[in-house]
Amino acid sequence: MPVHNADIARVFEEIADLLELGDENPFRVRAYRNAARIVSDLRLDIAGELAQGRALPKLPGIGEDLSNKLKEIAATGTCGLLERVRKKMPAGITELLRIPGLGPKRVSVLYRELDVHTPAQLQRAAQDGRLHGLAGFGAKTEQKLLEAAQAHLGQAKRFKLALAAQYAQPLAAALREVSGASEVAIAGSFRRMKETVGDLDILVAAEKSDAVMERFAKYPEVKETLAAGGTRASVVLACGIQVDLRVVPKESFGAALHYFTGSKAHNIAIRKLGQAKGLKINEYGVFRGKRRIAGETEQSVYDSVGLPYIAPELREDQGEIEAARRGELPRLVELADLKGDLHAHTKATDGRNTLGEMAEAARARGLGYLAITEHSRRVTMAHGLDPVRLAKQADEIERLGRELEGIALLKGIEVDILEDGALDLPDAALAKLDLVVGAVHSKFNLPRARQTERILAAMDRPCFSILAHPSGRLIGEREAYDVDMLAVVRKAKARGVFLELNAHPERLDLTDVHCRMARDEGVLVAVSSDAHSVHDFENLRYGIGQARRGWLEKKDVLNTRPPADVRKLLAATMGRGKTRK
């Protein structure tokens, strides 16, 4: 069975968790976490490369010992160390770490003092009032953990889009190889570019379904078959994701693709429009009485109800049908529209590639400018920059920028927004830069009014260009902080500054709803990779997906503009050039 990078990363992550719970040396723990991150970000099929006898590139922070473990996992899916450390801890205890509010310290207290090692046990202990009084647990913590445990237990597992893609694309590719399969599409929420998917829905057009069904059933990653029939099947892959397959004849493909792309609410609305015209619309086609009048393409389905084609990312029944009817659908931004990237890190802080490597990778992607925005000193974990190191890096960026052709380098910073709304570096240091990206990385739990004031105050500083990941959520891990987003958007408008859509697959923040809010209020959105390595420019694809879900057009996105225009707009946010609106 093929071992994906995500599988290898998971093994390293679990080792790190277990070592940490066992109170191991923090450096050792960090080495495994680092390895997990590197592997999961690497867009190179490690197991595949090794299987073909090719050597891996040198990976930062992965020495001989880790590299041997990497090979062991790539070959076997697990490693001896994991099995050993697992034996020392109750099975499944690492799941507790996924519960918001629980870190290794608290989990080991829970385990040692109460023998709590599953979310269900945590829920029970909190209900019984057994948590408060333990070291580090108050009554408030107990209540919060109870809610968190309940949410965790009630939550069906969803997969982040970029992770789902790692499993979906090879599977779709395998089905494309089957002779007689004329079309293969990954439909459902995946095609609508939702930030997470519950399951994968794959659709194949083929006159005879047998060969497709057989290839699907025998796909090496299938762990369990839930249902299998002549033209449909459902399986669970080894990674835990469920896949539903449908095989349809070519003349139904468009209707089926429309149906299985969803959303359900959009389908129902379209079907109603059909009914009003005396048409029946289902996954087999569009019918007037018994006669099929459309269904080979999605376009033909929309034609039949008198609408223009609606992009999958809009199909949520959130006004897209009305907009289509009025001829006011947005012309959605596309990946190719992006001219540059305004948020990236290098080795100077927690990135993994040098300035030169990042610049060349961005240029190779066709980007015309790249802003380097390291963390500021407050983020000690990432070795954030102080004014001296910032100035030194700015010199390097200047120098390299002059040498390189085809890409402009912008000097920036991802400066921390402190609790009172001050920025983590003095204005004089910031003023020498091309842009300032401000970010909240601490104090996520302030009450709404204070959190909002804090962010608005930061946006009022003389040098402030872009508010990074405005809601602060980590998908599936950390809720957004409580903030009045409309006030933030309006402040951005008033100050002439911008909001980021951070394209990191764990963030995708702004959310779709807030993208629309920004657009409605006339605030430009920067779709930024937050790249920490040369591979991370791939994030932009998912950022664009989210921007499209948020109805953004090319003109709504800051970094679709050519370098000179962006420089001018950014200069204004730095108190230079034309005064702001």
| Contact partner at residue 262 from ligand DGT, Ca ion, none, CB < 5 to 8 Å by partner kind | ligand DGT
First to last CA, the chain: 59
Measured between alpha carbons, how far is 371 from 434 in angstroms, rounded to an integer?
8
Residue 351 found at the interface with ligand DGT (CB under 6 A):
no
Which residues are paired to 134 by β-bridges?
Answer: 132
- Position 199 contacts ligand DGT (CB under 6 A): yes
- d(CA 570, CA 562) in angstroms, rounded, equals 12
Round to whole Å and give the CA distance between 4 and 40. 9
From the list ligand DGT, Ca ion, none, partner contacted by residue 260 (C-beta under 5 to 8 A by kind): ligand DGT
Q: Is 410 helix (H, G, I), strand (E, B) or coil?
A: strand
Q: Does the footprint of Ca ion cover residue 199 (CB under 5 A)?
A: yes
Three-class secondary structure of residue 553 per DSSP: strand
| CA dist., res. 56 & res. 45, Å (int) | 10
Do 442 and 404 contact (CB within 8 A), yes or no? Answer: no
Residue 242 binds which entry of Ca ion, ligand DGT, none, with Cβ cut-offs from 5 to 8 Å by kind? none
Please report where in the chains the tokens 């394209």 appear, as a residue: 503
Q: Which of 201, 221, 298, 320 binds Ca ion (CB under 5 A)?
A: 201
The reply to whether 195 sits near Ca ion by the rule CB under 5 A is no
> Which one-letter amino acid corresponds to residue 120?
A
Q: Does 201 bind ligand DGT (CB under 6 A)?
A: yes
For residue 274, what is the enclosing H or E element?
A: helix 264-276
Q: Angle, nearest 10°, between helix axes 64-76 and 26-41?
A: 50
Judged by DSSP in three states, 55 sits in coil
Residue 188 as a binder of ligand DGT (CB under 6 A): the answer is yes
Stretch that binds ligand DGT, among 1-9, 193-201, 210-218, 531-539 (CB under 6 A): 193-201
Query: What CA–CA distance (Å, rounded) separates 188 from 197?
Result: 8
Nearest residue relative to ligand DGT (C-beta): 262
Q: Which does 346 bind (CB under 5 to 8 A by kind): ligand DGT, Ca ion, none?
A: none
Is residue 528 a contact point for ligand DGT (CB under 6 A)? no
Could you say whether residue 189 binds ligand DGT (CB under 6 A)?
A: yes
Q: Where are the beta strands (DSSP E) in 295-444?
A: 340-341, 369-375, 408-416, 437-439
Binding site partner of 263, from Ca ion, ligand DGT, none, Cβ cut-off 5-8 A by kind: ligand DGT
Q: How far is the CB of 270 from ligand DGT (least distance, A)?
A: 9
| Between 55 and 156, CB nearer to ligand DGT | 156
Q: How far is the CB of 232 from Ca ion (least distance, A)?
A: 11
Which residues are registered as beta bridge partners of 525? 499, 557
Shortest distance, CB of residue 477 to ligand DGT, whole angstroms? 18
Of residues 197 and 307, the one with the C-beta less far from ligand DGT: 197
Give the shortest CB-201-to-Ca ion separation in angstroms. Answer: 5
Cβ pair 522, 558 in contact under 8 A: no
CA pair distance 243, 200, nearest whole angstrom: 5
3-state helix, strand, coil in the chain (%, to 5): 45, 15, 35
Contact in structure between 422 and 378 (CB atoms under 8 Å): no
Name the residue nearer to ligand DGT (CB basis): 110 or 247: 247
Residue 259 contacts ligand DGT per CB under 6 A:
yes
User: Residue 510, preceding bond cis, omega within 30 degrees?
Assistant: yes
Sequence-distant (≥ 6) Cβ neighbours of residue 214 within 8 angstroms: none
Q: Which is nearer to ligand DGT, 186 or 348 (CB)?
A: 186
β-pair partners for 244: 201, 234
Structure-token match 């062991």, residue found: 72
> How many other C-beta atoms are found inside a 10 Å radius of the C-beta of residue 525?
27
Stretch that binds Ca ion, among 30-38, 186-194, 421-429, 512-520 (CB under 5 A): 186-194
- Indicate the residue among 119 and 262 with the shorter CB distance to ligand DGT: 262
Overall size of the chain counted in residues: 581
208 binding partner (options Ca ion, ligand DGT, none; Cβ < 5 to 8 Å by kind)? none
Piece in contact with ligand DGT (CB under 6 A), picked from 255-263, 332-340, 373-381, 424-432: 255-263
Out of 264, 277, 392, 578, the only residue in the binding site for ligand DGT (CB under 6 A) is 264
| Contact call for residue 157 and ligand DGT (CB under 6 A) | no
Binds ligand DGT by CB under 6 A, chosen from 51, 139, 268, 381? 268
| Smallest distance, Ca ion to C-beta of residue 136, A | 40
Strands 498-502 and 466-467: parallel
Which of 188, 285, 412, 505 touches Ca ion (CB under 5 A)? 188
Amino acid 270 reads I
- Strand 222-228 versus strand 369-375 pairing type: unpaired
Q: Tell me the β-bridge partners of 159.
A: 197
What six digits make up the tokens of 199?
């399951």
- Least distance to Ca ion, CB of residue 504, Å: 23
> Using the 8-state DSSP alphabet, how is residue 368 labeled?
S
Least Å distance, CB 482 to ligand DGT, is 26
Amino acid at 577: G
Residue 251 is classified by DSSP as G
Q: Binding to Ca ion by residue 472, rule CB under 5 A? A: no
**Interacting positions 209-248 with Ca ion (CB under 5 A):** 244
Instruction: State the number of binding residues for ligand DGT (CB under 6 A).
Output: 14
Interface residue with ligand DGT, options 34, 166, 252, 267 (CB under 6 A): 267
Q: Which listed residue (119, 249, 262, 472) binds ligand DGT by CB under 6 A?
A: 262
| Shortest Cβ 503–ligand DGT spacing (Å) | 20
Q: Does 197 bind ligand DGT (CB under 6 A)?
A: yes
Q: Which range of residues in 87-95, 125-133, 187-195, 464-472 is near ligand DGT by CB under 6 A? A: 187-195
Per-residue DSSP letters for 315-351?
A: TTTSSHHHHHHTT----B--GGG--EE--B--TTTT-
Q: Which is nearer to Ca ion, 244 or 556 (CB)?
A: 244
Residue 295 within binding range of ligand DGT, rule CB under 6 A: no
Closest CB to ligand DGT among residues 191, 507: 191
Closest approach of ligand DGT to the CB of residue 194, in Å: 6
Minimum CB separation from ligand DGT for residue 266, in Å? Answer: 8
* Positions that interact with ligand DGT (CB under 6 A): 188-189, 194, 197-199, 201, 259-260, 262-264, 267-268
* Positions that interact with Ca ion (CB under 5 A): 188-189, 199, 201, 244
